[in-house]
Structure formats: C-alpha cells, structure tokens
Amino acid sequence: MKKILASFLLSALCMGQFAYAANTANIKIRINGPITDNRYFLCIPDVGCLSMLAAKKGKVFPFYRTVEMNTLFVTNVLNNRLYNQGLPKSCQVKVDPNKTITISGTLYAGQDQVKLSKISCSVA
C-alpha cells in the first residue's frame, strides 16, 4: 500500500511540474559571432539581460508571463555600455505562454560599438 501511495504522489508531482513548465514563454537566442566569454548579453525591456554565451551553449530562457518585444539592447560588460539594436517587423511581437521566440542574428564587436545585424525572429 505504501508503494502505491508513494508512486501516486510521485506521479502527481511530475504532472504538476509538466503543467507548470507548459505555461511558460521561452526565448531562444541564436547569435553568431565572437562569443567566447560571458561579456555580451541580449537585453529585453521588462524581461532582463540574457547571456549570449549561455544561449550559445543551448540555454533556453523561460518566462512565466507574456513577453512583449519592442526593442533589443546588447550589453558589453567589459566597458559597461548598452547598445540599442532596434527591431525588424518579425521581432515586434507578443510571445504568449506556451510559445517560443527564437531571436537570430550576427554579432559584430568593434572598439567602440557592438552591433547585431541580420536580426530576425520566429515564434512557434
């Protein structure tokens, strides 16, 4: 009887975790470029700054509410500067829970500027 009760509780806990995970909006970042250390972050207003190095290693960033995209910034933590990137039409979207937005582009890092080019987004 104890085994049955324990397996029932374990099953209930697992189903609760899956239901909780299903109610997230996810952000995937696929940026090419000189990302070899943790100096570059993609910042989204009302979301926060997301590590491009962690994204390059496969990290998907979950959020437990709707994400409204209206601009992007890139931060270089070595010089503490924030660079506004703007957004193409494909990225000016609202990402509801249970959806994933994938942000793609190429990072160019110069002495005085960091820029994302060929920015595109897709929501699935």
What is the per-residue pLDDT across 51-101, written as a single tens digit (0 to 9) for each? 999 999 999 999 988 988 889 999 999 988 999 998 999 999 999 999 999
Query: What is the rounded average pLDDT of the residues 10-36?
Result: 70
Q: Which one is predicted more confidently, 6 or 121?
A: 121
Which residues are bridge partners to 26 per DSSP?
62, 100
In a domain, 58, yes or no: yes
Domain span at residue 63 reads 24-123
What contacts 76, CB < 8 A, 6 or more positions away? Answer: 39, 40, 83, 109, 114
In a domain, 106, yes or no: yes
pLDDT confidence tier of residue 17, bands split at 50, 70 and 90? very low
- Give the total number of structural domains in the chain: 1
Q: Give the 3-state secondary structure percentages of the chain, helix then strand then coil, rounded to 5.
A: 25, 40, 35
